[in-house]
Amino acid sequence: MDLVQISRKPYKYIHADSKFTNWQKDFYEQNGYIIIKDNINYELIDELNQRFIDICEGNAEDAKCQIIKDPILKKKGAKGEFVVNKLQEITYDPILSKYSSEKSLLDVIENIIGPNITAVHSMLINKPPDSEPDISKHPLHQDLHYFPFRPAHKIVGSWTAMQKVDESNGCLYVVPGSHKSPLYKHEYPKGSNNALYHGITGKEHLPRKLVILEKGDTVFFHPLILHGSGPNMTKNFRRAISVHFADSNCQFINVAGTVQENIKKEVEDILRHRGIELSFEDGWKMKSKLIKGPAGNFQRFDSHL
C-alpha cells in the first residue's frame, strides 16, 4: 500500500499529517470507511483463532478477557466455540492483545487519528452456526452511541476478518457517507432484548453496502457511520477481531440529558447489579489501554471532573 503521497487538501475526518494516498483520504472522507486488503498476516490470525478455541474449551489458564455466551445456544446445551459469541476486553490477554499492537494495523490507525493511540474497546466476535437470527445479527447503529468522549473524528474502529466473510455468514454492512450525520437516538429493536445491542429505527431505507472481506482484510470506520451485520446462515463459524482506537487526548463529556443517556443508565445499572459502583465515563477509562504515544485523558481519572 502506498502511504507516501501527502495531500495539501484540508480534510475533516483524516489526521492532518496522514500519509494516506490522496485516493485513500478522499474515499474515507466521503464514505466514512476504508478497506485495507491483506492488512493482518495469516500467521497471526491463525494464532488468534487457536487462542479463541483454547479459551472456549477452558485450555487457557492465563486468559484475560470476558467471555460472552449466546443465550439461546447455551440453553440448548452447546459447548466450547459453539456457544461463545464474543470475547471482550481482549487487549489485556497475552495472546489476543497482539492484534491491537500489530504494526500494520497501527500504521493505518495513525494515518486516521494521529500518533497518540489508546485502545478503548476490543472484542473477538464469533457467530456460531445454529444461532437464532435475532441473536446473530446486529441492528443498524452508530458506535459513537456507546462512547462518552469526543471528537468523533479522533475515534476509529478496526474490524478484521478471520476468514472470508460475506452475506451468507453475516458480514458487516455500512451506509456510505452516513458518518456526516448526527448521533441518532438508539433503542432496543422491537422484540429484541439482546443486552446492549441497541439500534436505530427509521433509517432502514438508506442504501447499504455489504463489506465483503477475505481473511486478513480489515475495514476501518468512523464511529458515526451507520452499520450493522446480518445473521450467520451457514453451518460454519464466522469470526472477526475488532478494536476501537481513540486519540489519547479525547475529551470526556457528560452524556446525561443527551441521546446517550439511556446507554449510560443501562451500563451503570449493570455494573451496580454486579456490585460495582462506577460511572459510565470512568468505566471506559478503566478498560482502555495506552498503545502508542504519551498518556492522555484516558489515563487520567480526574480529567472530566
Full set of structural domains in the chain with CATH:
31-299 (2.60.120.620)
pLDDT at 175 > cutoff 60 = yes
Range 24-44 average pLDDT: 98
Question: To the nearest whole number, what is the mean pLDDT of the chain?
Answer: 92
pLDDT at 9 > cutoff 80 = no
pLDDT at 6 > cutoff 50 = no
pTM of this prediction?
A: 0.93
pLDDT at 114 > cutoff 80 = yes
Q: 140 pLDDT band (50/70/90 cuts)? A: very high
pLDDT at 304 > cutoff 60 = no
What per-residue confidence (pLDDT) applies to 297?
Answer: 94
Q: How many CB atoms lie within 10 A of CB 170?
A: 24
Peptide linkage before 129 cis (omega within 30 of 0) = no
Given a contact cutoff of 8 angstroms between Cβ atoms, the answer to whether 116 and 253 are in contact is no
pLDDT in tens, 269-282: 998 999 988 999 99
As a whole-number percent, the residues of the chain with pLDDT over 70 amount to 95
pLDDT at 7 > cutoff 60 = no
What per-residue confidence (pLDDT) applies to 5?
Answer: 44
Range 240-248 average pLDDT: 98
What per-residue confidence (pLDDT) applies to 303?
Answer: 41
